[in-house]
Amino acid sequence: MKSTRLNRLVVAGALTGLALTMTACGSDDTSTASGDSSASPTTEAMEETDAMEETEAMETTEAMAEGPFGPACSLVPTEGEGSVEGMSDDPVATAASNNPVLSTLVTAVTQAGLVDTLNSAEDITVLAPANSAFEAVPADALNGLLADQAQLTEVLTSHVIPGRLSPSELAGEHTTLSGATVTIEGSGEDFSLSADQTVLGASPASVVCGDVQTANATVYIVDQVLAPSA
């Protein structure tokens, strides 16, 4: 009898120990599972935050890189055919004729008989002198230029570069429609041409409103009339 009772006690003790062991293991598993469960959302949240920040950074960079830039862009009409949006669906000479900032240039282009040439060209870049650029040229010199169609044509086509150049492509040496070479320096939203490439030759020319799109051209408005060398 004593032996039987002893055996029962041993078995009961073993079962109790086994139950405690299993309970402990179950508790560890639950804890681990719980830990994994809590870690997963945290990791996912961090990944989502990183992805959102990266996307926002890319969108900000793209926004900065797109659209007209420069102080003179504020002079461009905000609505109508002469606005940035309005110019985008017209060929370049027509688009310029609707923009009051470029009225003197349009007069010169018309005088030289280049309206159709520019409107029918495919993918060009135009360095377009603003009205103030022509106003800076002495009246007798400007009138003489406007009266000489051959010279006027050469000067105006020296402002036109084959191909549509984005701001990231603008800096460097480019051959114009006249055969002259223009050298543009700068990056981002700051571009200039040396003084010896201008009619006045007194100071560098600057892009004052850049990356204006028309149906067939990308326009960079400059503050001086250019006279690049052949």
Q: Are strands 190-193 and 181-187 parallel, antiparallel or unpaired?
A: antiparallel
User: Would you kindly state where each structural domain of the chain is located, as residue ranges?
Assistant: 1-66, 71-222
| pLDDT digits (tens), the chain, 230 positions | 444 443 443 344 443 444 444 444 444 544 444 445 454 556 665 666 665 566 554 443 444 447 899 999 999 999 999 999 999 999 999 999 999 999 999 999 999 999 999 999 999 999 999 999 999 999 999 999 999 999 999 999 999 999 999 999 999 999 999 999 999 999 999 999 999 999 999 999 999 999 999 999 999 999 999 998 76
- Residue 61 tokens read as 């960079």
Give the distance from CA 81 to its chain's centroid.
Answer: 23
Which of 130, 114, 73, 120 shows the shortest CA–CA distance to 217?
A: 120
pTM of the model: 0.72
- Is CATH 3.40.50.300 the right assignment for the domain spanning 71-222? no
Do residues 108 and 129 touch, judged by C-beta distance below 8 A? no
Strands of the 181-187 sheet, one edge to the other: 160-162, 124-129, 217-222, 205-213, 190-193, 181-187, 172-175
